[in-house]
Chains A and B, each alone.
Chain A
């Protein structure tokens, strides 16, 4: 059984569109994250939620809006997609903010 699962795995869309990526974890963890990995493999934190509450919000355009309907789910909605948004987006979860994070398989987003 997949511990942290993301959908979709691949997403190709046109500039200007709005899209969502979903993430679910079945580990019973309290903390969830969204990371962005660019073409040079550089991994950067975007958001972190603890028990549905936003605790980390790095410098990310406000076109990106996370939403946590419950502590097992953290979705990422992106408005008005731009070419520079093309990247792999990883969801992760940890028992709490002080323990190891487990990553999902990633969503490869391509904006054309």
Chain B
């Protein structure tokens, strides 16, 4: 069993809908939680990261961490066709360097006009 589980999708939503993505994990020592966006044939780019539990909002994006359930979520409000991409969650322990991130498999999101 992988340490980080993520449904690969694809997840298809109409433009303007809310996109809801999530990951579950098994290692309770994870403290840093990230979401990356990867467009087709491109490298991943960091969208947002949170430390420990709680919510973080950045424009149309909201990240939530529930450490008690070992569950993290990313919500995209007012989705646009330009949001069509693969979204990868990643996480690490406080003592790990950034190179020790554990990634989920990524969820492909398609926003249709």
**A interface, CB within 8 angstroms of B:** 4, 31, 33, 40-45, 48, 55-56, 90, 92, 94, 97-106, 108
Q: Is the CB of B105 within 8 A of A92?
A: no
Task: Give chain A residues whose Cβ lies under 8 Å from the Cβ of B88.
Answer: 41, 43
Q: CA A103 – CA B103 in complex, angstroms?
A: 14
Q: CA A38 – CA B43 in complex, angstroms?
A: 13
Chain B's interface size range is 20 to 34
Partner among A41, A43, A101 whose Cβ is within 8 Å of the Cβ of B98:
A101
The main secondary structure of chain B at its interface with chain A is mixed
Q: Is the CB of B99 within 8 A of A40?
A: no
Known: A43-B44, A105-B41. A100 touches B105 (CB 8 A): no
Task: Give chain A residues whose Cβ lies under 8 Å from the Cβ of B103.
Answer: 42-44
Task: Give chain A residues whose Cβ lies under 8 Å from the Cβ of B97.
Answer: 31, 48, 55-56, 97-98
Q: Is the CB of B8 within 8 A of A40?
A: yes
Task: Give chain B residues whose Cβ lies under 8 Å from the Cβ of A94.
Answer: 98-99
17 contacts between A and B (CB under 8 A): A31-B97, A31-B98, A41-B106, A43-B44, A43-B90, A44-B103, A45-B100, A55-B99, A97-B99, A98-B97, A99-B98, A100-B46, A101-B98, A103-B43, A105-B43, A106-B41, A106-B42
